[in-house]
Structure 1
């Protein structure tokens, strides 16, 4: 007898993940903030551009290629961030993870060190610093993930539940 997947992963990844991603879309959150406005991928505060936003392949097409960077000269495979915000000379890479039952997504959290190091290699030729953040749904906020959370922070990455404070993005 086949059991229906109600916890995410597998065939339910897009159904559950897209809903969570829609609720946690960074550019919408910034645009809804009274001090900021967004036009295309540019973030404005008091009429001045303070950041640029990129997603997935846009990071490569709109940012790296425009600065003469061919990713394949630095890393072997593209990493496709859910969001990337360039503020001054720091890029904030945002990965969103949704889970509501046991599965492999919680194991993927342990890849943050590798991904951060890949982004560091990619951005070092143009002197851009890298911050790597996870935005997680509340399911992850449980004692069984304590060791993973300690690891994430020990390697210079960070995580947040359901939302990402704008002050952690250099947008104070």
Structure 2
């Protein structure tokens, strides 16, 4: 960011708007409300910084799992699995779905960009983050232990189209960044990282 400029502020605002627009709980309520009901999670622990939601299948009112984010990941880790964080740092995942039926924890990291920068290299750390999250569940004494799956959610306006602004409605701009980032995307997939652009594939979460 240049001295006196607003690039950093714009990026922060854009990233926050992207996080809110892609809120997983809100998306499920919007798109899957016929099949699933979200009920705010009741807990004896502090859930004030962000909410958690129990996800029930409407057909039989079966608890499928819990959606949460940020530091609330560790509250659910303690409350449901009775284990503590095994890493020196407490990472703050953007979205988490604890799918009890699948015995799998689905974690989403969101990366909103409007220009190239250090985040280009940081995304290669996703596979190591998945390992660090997995450490927390590997301490459980019995098998089968939960598996951590990891996804990256990118804004297509930049990562595909190379635009520093939203894609205008009804337009089909050239996909000039798709080729530039293809090696990045392919290497993430080689490492087992799921990639989303703007929207979720709900089947990935087991829904």
TM (normalized to structure 1)? 0.89
Rg: which structure is higher? Answer: 2
> How big is the shift at 1:14?
2.4
How far, CA to CA, are the matches of 1:65 and 1:50 in structure 2?
A: 18
Does 2:159 match 1:140? yes
In structure 2, C-alpha distance between the alignment counterparts of 1:170 and 1:124, rounded to whole Å: 22
Structure 2 counterpart of 1:149 = 185
2:112–2:154 Cα contact (<8 Å) kept: yes
5 Å-filtered alignment, 1:33-112, equals 33=32, 34-40=34-40, 41-46=53-58, 47-61=61-75, 63-66=76-79, 67-71=81-85, 74-87=86-99, 88=101, 89-112=103-126
Q: Tell me, yes or no, if structure 1 residue 167 matches structure 2 residue 203.
A: yes
Shift of 1:162: 0.3
CA distance in 2, matches of 1:86, 1:51: 5
Of structures 1 and 2, the one scoring higher in RCO (CA 8 A, sep 6+) is 1
CA offsets 1:19-75 (integer angstroms, 9 cap, x no match): 1111111010111123222111101122221121121110101x111232121xx21
Is 1:129 matched up with 2:147? yes
RMSD between aligned residues: 1.6
Q: Per the alignment, in what secondary structure is the counterpart of residue 181 of structure 2?
A: helix
Q: 1:37 touches 1:45 (CA, 8 Å); kept in 2?
A: yes
Cα distance in 1 for partners of 2:114, 2:84 equals 38
Following TM superposition, the consecutive aligned residue runs of length 4 or more in structure 1 with deviations greater than 3 angstroms are 1-6
User: Does the aligned pair in 1 maintain the 2:127–2:191 contact within 8 Å?
Assistant: yes
Q: C-alpha displacement at 1:5, in angstroms?
A: 3.7
Unaligned runs of 5+ in 2: 41-52, 161-177
Equivalenced residue count is 165
More helix by percentage: 1
Residue 102 of structure 1: how far off its partner (Å):
1.6
Deviation of 1:3 (Å): 6.6
Contact 2:57–2:64 at 8 Å: present in 1 too? yes
Task: Name the CA distance, whole Å, in 2 between partners of 1:170 and 1:120.
Answer: 19
